[in-house]
């Protein structure tokens, strides 16, 4: 498995064989519309999961100023496999930071 930045112009399927259209990705992973995500894919381009890359950067201590593409490479090198609990905690922490920055500056940095 590897992580790949989600791109709605690429073609993926889901493990159940359903085509992972842009609409179905938005339906299954609604935040993909608002934040950059990486998808966990196998060699057949089957999408097994989608994760907010900003949350993963927070979870794995990748600095905010690192380019998304570089963060993707670092996460792949780490061969990450966060537990649902780790992701949930990191998401809550990320959203609290995001909302604090938004309140402070009118929008996140």
**Could you state, in order of their start, the residue ranges of all structural domains in the chain?**
2-105
pLDDT of residue 81: 84
Q: Is the pTM of this model over 0.85?
A: no
For 1-48, the pLDDT digits (tens) are: 899 999 988 889 999 999 999 999 999 999 999 999 999 999 999 999
Question: DSSP letter at 66?
Answer: S
Q: Does residue 107 have a pLDDT over 70?
A: no
Q: What are phi and psi of 107, to 5 degrees?
A: -160, 155
In tens, the pLDDT along 37-89 reads: 999 999 999 999 999 999 999 999 999 899 999 999 999 999 888 888 998 99
Query: CA gyration radius for the chain?
Result: 14
């Amino acid at each position: 498995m590897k992580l790949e930045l989600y791109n709605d112009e690429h073609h993926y399927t889901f493990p159940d064989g359903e085509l992972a259209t842009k609409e179905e990705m938005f339906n299954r992973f609604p935040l993909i519309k608002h934040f950059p995500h990486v998808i966990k894919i196998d060699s057949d381009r089957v999408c097994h999961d989608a994760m907010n890359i900003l949350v993963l950067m927070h979870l794995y201590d990748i600095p905010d100023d690192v380019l998304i593409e570089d963060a993707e490479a670092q996460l792949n090198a780490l061969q990450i496999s966060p537990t649902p609990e780790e992701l949930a905690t990191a998401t809550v922490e990320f959203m609290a930071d995001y909302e604090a920055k938004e309140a402070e500056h009118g929008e996140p940095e």
